[in-house]
Chain A
Amino acid sequence: MSLAETRHDGPRQEAERTAGAFIESGRSYGFFTDTTLCIGCKACEVACKEWNQLPSEAGGLSGMSYDNTGELSATTWRHVAFIEQVGRDGVRPEAMPDFQSRWLMMSDVCKHCDPAPCLEACPTGAIFRTEFDSVVVQQDICNGCGYCVPACPFGVVQLDELDGKAHKCTLCYDRMKGGLEPACAKACPTDSIQFGAVEDLHARARRRVEELHERGVADAYLYGVPDATGATGGLKRLNAFFLLLDRPEVYNLPTAPTRPADRIAPALGAGLAAIAGLAMAAAALLGAGGRR
């Protein structure tokens, strides 16, 4: 009996119970991070560090609202951003307005892009696309060339100077192999981070945006779904996508990122054409004045 046949006889995987998603190879999985539901508890950051055995980066208080993590790094694969929009144009109000401040919180993560610029840049094949359509760095292959670091349009992947390898979110590849949903999504108490098959998540996210628009949250929009902001310039989609309430830059995301590999042909073509031109000039200049 195959897995598919027994699928509806009751949950066979924990992910079916916790995320309502059956994990099988050959399908695309990802995260839908709905920032309207985030309460900034950082359970995702902690769950990620615990499961992946990542060291803390104790840096003290940053002064940036409740964000003392700062950024995604080689040892931080979930990062909760806090944006307190009290007042307007940088002026604090005299009294707290209705509904207090607009306090935006967003749990950032590797986007598992399709196509993935880090993977396309990797010269060793250490970065590969898994059977779950996630993008993972194989630690036993990476030689620390660092080319994936500037390739990433989102500043996600980074070299660890201690072990000399590139690191980033693996979409909990090891957990998914065992039928478990990724640690951050499982730990999220408000379902701001939702794990599942990307097509299912797209449908769910579109319904959520419509619902929010009906309830008067006119600024809600999706970042990273096909043909939308975030999925531009040759990036077809981000398997980890977001529902946002303000410009992408407010969350430290680019509005219209581009696929870096599309710039190889113009740069190389122009370079070789210039070499050809200079070679012709050289033929003329070096022959000038005839034989010595």
Chain B
Amino acid sequence: MNLQVPSRTQPPAHGDGPTRRPYAGESYYGRPPLKPSPWDWTVSGYIYLAGLAGAAQGIAAIAQRIDRRAYAGAVRSARFLGTLGSAVGSILLIVDLRTPQRWYNMLRILRPTSPMSFGTYVLGAFGIFSSVTALAELTRGRGRMGRAAEAAADAAQVGAAVTGAGAATYTASLLASTSTPYWAAAPRHLGVLFAASSVATAAAALSLGERLGGRHATARRLDGLAALASAALVATSLAADRRRRAKGIPADLDASNPGRIKQAGLALAGAVPLGAYALSRMNGGRSPGLSVLGSLSLLAGGYLLRHATLKLGMESAERPEAWFRFAQPENLPGRGQQAIEGWRQERLP
């Protein structure tokens, strides 16, 4: 804690409003100006599962259209993943509530300004669509009932893909639309990051299923998709860091504990799978073990990155310099540098 005697940085001059001076790092005894979100691994776990399950159902919808027979196994995995992910994810969200017996109050209203509100309905719809698709997998080959379920599942697959895309990305808007500096400083980057992370982990999970089922040809193609999304994930993460620095978020945040989790996450979700998938391909598919290793590493790294994003945000909320440097006129939306000078001179006392 900073116990230095606080002092005025400049003597007052007549007509000189204190806020016209550029911010020079003042704070109130270094105390946190914000309250961090009260969330833990259940929330990062939910964000991860919703992304993985949502993107898996999207990939299944595309794969089914390309080659229904070749991808039958992957589609089956995605349908169970979607159902399981939405069910476990919902439980994690309810466990995270401090008054969980009132979870149903989430359904009292629909509020477009609250991603947590509309996200509840996106997750609910995704869960219903996914359950319909999973039902078809369970009733396959049981005569008329099986065929009816199959037809319903084909229609529901489109719904699951669309709501899955929502479930995979609305969580980015949930974090961005807070006053937490680390999340608020790069909303677009966060959106792309969550999309890439969801697709990468979903493709890795489906590839893993295909390898275990001995379907190496489809697994190889899924590896390609996982590698592409993984590369996009790493690139977006680096771009987001640059953006945050430009918006005043201190770089030494990455030296904190969650910062180290992020570095580990980037290695496990980026370098390791990219190398493993490339080696596996160069080997002409004779070493499925490398692909399995890449997928497992990507799945683990994907979660670490989600958790690091959550914890880095909470850390940034407790740092005065992060919030106060971000909450300056130059970071207000829709203003050029000239407008800032005008804002400083005319609109501040």
Q: Which residues of A contact B (CB under 8 A)?
A: 63-64, 67, 70-71, 81, 83-92, 102, 117, 120-126, 141-147, 149-159, 161, 163-165, 209, 213, 216, 218-222, 227-229, 232-234, 244-258, 260-276, 278-279, 281-283, 285-289, 291-292
Residues from chain B with a CB closer than 8 A to the CB of A288 are: 221, 224
Q: Which of B1-17 contact A (CB under 8 A)?
A: 1, 3-9, 12-17
Inter-subunit contact A150/B35 (CB<8 Å): yes
Contact stretch, chosen from B139-147, B189-197, B249-257, B292-300: B189-197
Inter-subunit contact B19/A229 (CB<8 Å): yes
Bound-complex Cα distance A222 to B102 (A): 41
- Chosen A-B contacts, 29 in total, with CB atoms closer than 8 Å, are A64-B31, A85-B7, A87-B7, A102-B8, A124-B108, A143-B99, A143-B100, A143-B103, A145-B106, A146-B37, A150-B180, A220-B349, A221-B17, A222-B349, A229-B348, A255-B23, A258-B332, A262-B333, A266-B191, A267-B188, A268-B169, A270-B190, A271-B168, A271-B170, A271-B190, A272-B165, A278-B225, A279-B62, A286-B71
Q: Which of B92-106 contact A (CB under 8 A)?
A: 96-100, 102-103, 105-106
Residues from chain B with a CB closer than 8 A to the CB of A122 are: 111, 114, 117
Bound-complex Cα distance A253 to B170 (A): 30
Bound-complex Cα distance A246 to B12 (A): 9
- Distance (whole angstroms) from the CB of A163 to the closest CB of chain B: 8
Inter-subunit contact B191/A283 (CB<8 Å): no
- Distance (whole angstroms) from the CB of A228 to the closest CB of chain B: 6
Inter-subunit contact B99/A219 (CB<8 Å): no
Inter-subunit contact B36/A221 (CB<8 Å): no
B32 contacts A by Cβ under 8 Å: yes
Inter-subunit contact A121/B113 (CB<8 Å): yes
Bound-complex Cα distance A125 to B113 (A): 12
Residues from chain B with a CB closer than 8 A to the CB of A143 are: 97-100, 102-103, 105-106
Bound-complex Cα distance A153 to B62 (A): 42
Residues from chain B with a CB closer than 8 A to the CB of A276 are: 165
Inter-subunit contact A64/B29 (CB<8 Å): yes
Bound-complex Cα distance A66 to B328 (A): 29
Residues from chain A with a CB closer than 8 A to the CB of B115 are: 264, 268
The contact of A275 among B18, B33, B108, B195, by CB within 8 Å, is B195
Inter-subunit contact B177/A286 (CB<8 Å): no
Residues from chain B with a CB closer than 8 A to the CB of A92 are: 5
Residues from chain B with a CB closer than 8 A to the CB of A159 are: 38, 98
If A123-B111, A156-B35, A272-B195 are given as contacts, then 12 extra A-B residue pairs at C-beta distance below 8 Å, sorted by A number, are A63-B1, A84-B6, A155-B33, A219-B16, A262-B333, A263-B177, A267-B188, A278-B199, A278-B228, A282-B203, A287-B66, A292-B217
Residues from chain A with a CB closer than 8 A to the CB of B228 are: 278, 281, 285
Residue of A whose beta carbon sits closest to that of B28: A252
Inter-subunit contact A218/B15 (CB<8 Å): yes
On chain B, the number of residues with a Cβ less than 8 Å from chain A's Cβ atoms is: 110
- Distance (whole angstroms) from the CB of A113 to the closest CB of chain B: 11
Inter-subunit contact B36/A150 (CB<8 Å): yes
Q: A124-B105, A292-B217 are in contact. Are A246 and B168 (CB under 8 A)?
A: no
The contact of B105 among A126, A219, A275, A292, by CB within 8 Å, is A126
Residues from chain A with a CB closer than 8 A to the CB of B18 are: 219, 221, 244-247, 250
Inter-subunit contact B58/A63 (CB<8 Å): no
Residues from chain B with a CB closer than 8 A to the CB of A150 are: 34-37, 178-180, 183, 313, 317
B276 contacts A by Cβ under 8 Å: no
As a 0/1 sequence over residues 80 to 94 of chain B, the CB contacts with chain A under 8 angstroms (1 = contact) are 000000000000000
- Distance (whole angstroms) from the CB of A249 to the closest CB of chain B: 4
Inter-subunit contact B62/A165 (CB<8 Å): no
- Distance (whole angstroms) from the CB of B189 to the closest CB of chain A: 8
Bound-complex Cα distance A187 to B187 (A): 44
The contact of A144 among B59, B99, B221, B324, by CB within 8 Å, is B99
Inter-subunit contact A250/B6 (CB<8 Å): yes
What 9 pairs between A and B have smallest CB-CB spacing? A144-B98, A271-B169, A221-B349, A271-B191, A164-B98, A254-B327, A270-B191, A274-B195, A252-B28
Inter-subunit contact B190/A254 (CB<8 Å): no
Inter-subunit contact A124/B106 (CB<8 Å): yes
Inter-subunit contact B173/A263 (CB<8 Å): yes
Bound-complex Cα distance A274 to B173 (A): 14
The contact of B106 among A123, A263, A268, by CB within 8 Å, is A123
- Distance (whole angstroms) from the CB of A268 to the closest CB of chain B: 4
Bound-complex Cα distance A84 to B29 (A): 11
Residues from chain B with a CB closer than 8 A to the CB of A265 are: 173
Inter-subunit contact A90/B191 (CB<8 Å): no
- Distance (whole angstroms) from the CB of A273 to the closest CB of chain B: 8
Residues from chain B with a CB closer than 8 A to the CB of A269 are: 188, 191
Inter-subunit contact B191/A291 (CB<8 Å): no
Bound-complex Cα distance A88 to B38 (A): 38
- Distance (whole angstroms) from the CB of B328 to the closest CB of chain A: 6
Bound-complex Cα distance A149 to B39 (A): 10
Inter-subunit contact B71/A88 (CB<8 Å): no
The contact of A86 among B7, B14, B62, B96, by CB within 8 Å, is B7
